[in-house]
Every structure is written in structure tokens, then in C-alpha cells.
Structure 1
Amino acid sequence: MRRLVLLPLIAAFAIWVRPAAAHPHVWVTSQSELVYGADGAITGIRHTWKFDDMFSAYAVQDIQNKDKGVYTREELAPLAQINVDSLKEFDFFTFAKAGKTKEQFLEPVDYFLEYRDSALILHFTLPFKQPVKAKELALEIYDPSYFVGFDLAATDPIKLVGAPASCKAAVQRPDSKSTQAPISEQSFLDGNVNYGAMFSNKIMVDCP
């Protein structure tokens, strides 16, 4: 089962790798939904994360399945549990601010893995510790160590579910110059491991 641990534990190791290896080793394509309550407050975030084919093949190689190349939700359940438990240490690679206030999350719910088109897809919901009712919300998805690379889906990277009609979402993808910026050895020696902030995917929600 130790070989089945997904990206969070790998990301932890990335802090200690040599500078030459400081680039994404796992790629995730992300789609998210902000879920609103009847009072207009945001209650949580639903994530759908699709892993790259190579990592997906590695992750499922020890799973016992009935049909070759097919993995049911039940067969993937232990792997989903390991992944979600491990992600907690890394704040689920999800960072939210309402104004200047950093928002906190509860334990994830409704999580499961599916295997489709040779890729693992992780679904989970992060409830906010307190529902967020603010005019502006900034959401970032990234790995501070930049061992895991996150790309927002080309289509529908963010949806507002049950939001007031006035609410709008805008997406800011990493600047192309930032994604090509080298990581210096001195930066590692200085102990700065928050490189992922340069490559973060940002979602801004405005509810005037």
C-alpha cells in the first residue's frame, strides 16, 4: 500500500530534492465549483483533479481489479482515503481569502476516485469552516514546492453553483514568463520553498 500514496507525500519529498529537479513531476488538471447556500454565502469548494497518464498508471499498478484496465470506485476507495488523508498536511493545495482574511476549511467530504481514459480523477469537497459571505473571494490552487504542477482546465475551470446572479468569476493563469523562470540554487539554500506561488492559478469572485 505504501506505493499507492499519491502526490501529497511526493510533494513533501520535493522540498529536499536538488535544484535541478525543481520542476513538476506530477501534473494535475483542475476544475472547481464554488457552492453557495440559500443565503448567498459560499459553503465550500468542489474539486475535480485529473492526474497525468504516467502518474495515474503508477498509482494503480498494485490495485487488485476484476477487469483489466477498469477500476471501480469501490476498488479505488482505499487509494482515495490515503490521498485525502495525506492532502490535509498540504492544506489541500487550496488557499482562499475573503478580503484580507484567510479562510479555513473543514475535513473533506464526498471524496472518491474514478479511472477514466487512462487517468485517475479525484473528486472531493472542502467545506469552509464558516460560510463565507463577502463581496470578494480570492482562490488559489498550487503546490508551494512546485513539485506538482496544476493547470486549470481549458473549459469551465470554475463554476458558481447557486450563486446570486450578480456574482462573477474571473480566472488568472500563471504568466508565461513565470512558468519559464529558473529556480536558483541560492533560493534553495535560503530555505524558500514557496516557489509554487509564482505559478499559482488564481480565481477571483466578485459579488457586488
Structure 2
Amino acid sequence: MIGLLRRAAIRSALIAAVLALVGFGTAEAHPHVWVTSTSELVYAPDGSFTGVRHAWAFDDMFSTYALQGIETKEKGVYSREELAPLAQTNVESLKEFAYFTFAKVGGKKQKFSEPVDYYLSYKDNVLTLHFFLPLKTPVKSNELSVEVFDPSYFIDFSFAEKNPVSLVGAPSGCTMNFQRPTDGSATAQRMSEDNFLNGDNSNYGAMFANKIAVTCP
């Protein structure tokens, strides 16, 4: 994935350079890849939070780009087996970026292990990466928060309109609140934009974070 993203970044940089030459200003922080996500927060029978199961559907342009050079038995049809090497490359690349998934339990940051049960599917010209991201240590808590975003805002993460997030195996009485970036306060967004314009773009993408909060009795 990262190799593909870097190649896409070079191409986008060339486009930006051309625009600059003809007099158009461009912002450095803007997405080049779009992902639509559906996610599950997974709990063990004892009520401990164990990890996040993601399904990330890439935009059709990136999907087409990523599939270049992959040989298939039937033109336009990609089996899970044929996509396996690309799936492995993708999940291995994600480690450098903390899997774009950030969790806190009881206000304390949690660490994830490497993804498991990963594979790629292809349908309707869209490539989707499926994987389970386990916590290094499952933990019980009545407060859990998960955010999904790219700090650099190179990738734009949005969640599906229908059933974007669900709880799997959560204890009885747990409630979930899901907040899209567009639900955030205008003040916080303006402050983030000001920081970016002042040269601090290290975590610009946090302004576009998808936020999940779970409260259990």
C-alpha cells in the first residue's frame, strides 16, 4: 500500500507543480486516496475489548491503480487468492502509520498487534481491504474511544452511511456514540486550520477524525 501511495503522491505532486506554474494556489494537506469504512468493535465473552475489525473500500481510481500488473485467470475478476500478495503488502505497510486507528481505554492509549485474518475483495470496481486489528492486551473498561484518521490527511477516511460502526459481543447495556468529522465544532476546525497555516501540519488530519465512544455500565 505504501509503495502505491508514494507513487500516487509523486503523480499528485507533479499535478500540483503544474497548477502552481499556471497561477493556482494549492494546500499541501488534502487527500489523494479516499476510503469508505465499516468497522466493528469486538469484545470477548468476559466483556473485555479485544480489537477492531475493519473493512476499507478504496475509491475506484485508486482501486484501478492498485490492481495494475496483477495476473488473473479471468479478465476483470480477482479472487481472494490472486489478491493475497497485495493484501499482505497492504497490512504490512499499515504498521508504520499505526493502522490509522487510535484507541483509548479509560483515557489510556492502547497498542495494537499486527493485523490478522486479512484479505482483499473486489466488487463493482472497488477494492476492499478486510482485517482484524487486535489489541496487544485485551482490556475491560466502562469507557472506550476509537478514532480512525490519517494524521497527514493524505488518505480521507469516511464511514459508510448505513451501519458504519457496530459492537460485537459487547456486554449488555453498553451504548455507542459515533461522530463523523462533519459533526465536530467549527471552533476546533478553525483552530486546526490556523495551526496548519502557521506551519504545524503534523496532526492536521485529526480535524477529520471519525470518533467512536462506547460507555458500558
TM bracket, shorter-chain basis? 0.7 to 0.9
Query: Which structure carries more relative contact order (alpha carbon 8 Å, separation 6+)?
Result: 1
CA distance in 1, matches of 2:124, 2:210: 25
Q: Residue deviations 1:34-79, cap 9 Å, x none?
A: 1111100011110000000010000001111111111011111111
Q: 1:34 — aligned with what?
A: 41
CA distance in 1, matches of 2:161, 2:7: 26
Q: 1:119 — aligned with what?
A: 126
Q: 2:96 — aligned with what?
A: 89
Unaligned runs of 5+ in 2: 18-25
CA distance in 2, matches of 1:158, 1:22: 27
1:79 aligns with 2:79: no
> Percent of aligned pairs with the same residue?
58
From 36, 46, 49, give the equivalent of 2:53: 46
- Decide which moves more: 16-25 or 144-153: 16-25
Q: What is the TM-score with the length of structure 2 in the denominator? A: 0.84
Q: 2:3 — aligned with what?
A: 5
For the 8 Å contact 1:174–1:198, the answer to whether it is kept is yes
For the 8 Å contact 1:5–1:83, the answer to whether it is kept is no
From 203, 206, 210, give the equivalent of 1:201: 210
Larger radius of gyration: 2
Letter in 2 for 1:112: Y
Q: 1:170 — aligned with what?
A: 177
From 70, 75, 82, give the equivalent of 1:68: 75
Unaligned runs of 5+ in 1: none
In the TM superposition, what is the alpha-carbon distance from 1:192 to its structure 2 partner? Answer: 2.9
CA, structure 1 residues 125+114, in 2 after alignment: closer, same or farther (shift >3 Å)? same
From 129, 136, 139, give the equivalent of 1:129: 136
CA distance in 1, matches of 2:98, 2:2: 20
Q: CA RMSD in A?
A: 2.8
SS of residue paired to 1:75: helix
Aligned residues: 202
CA, structure 1 residues 169+54, in 2 after alignment: closer, same or farther (shift >3 Å)? same
CA, structure 1 residues 62+123, in 2 after alignment: closer, same or farther (shift >3 Å)? same
SS of residue paired to 2:72: coil
CA distance in 2, matches of 1:67, 1:5: 26
In the TM superposition, what is the alpha-carbon distance from 1:171 to its structure 2 partner? Answer: 0.5
SS of residue paired to 1:175: helix
In the TM superposition, what is the alpha-carbon distance from 1:169 to its structure 2 partner? Answer: 1.1
In the TM superposition, what is the alpha-carbon distance from 1:187 to its structure 2 partner? Answer: 3.1
CA, structure 1 residues 134+159, in 2 after alignment: closer, same or farther (shift >3 Å)? same
Letter in 2 for 1:205: V
Q: Residue deviations 1:6-60, cap 9 Å, x none?
A: 44x56998xx998624211100001111111110001111000000001000000
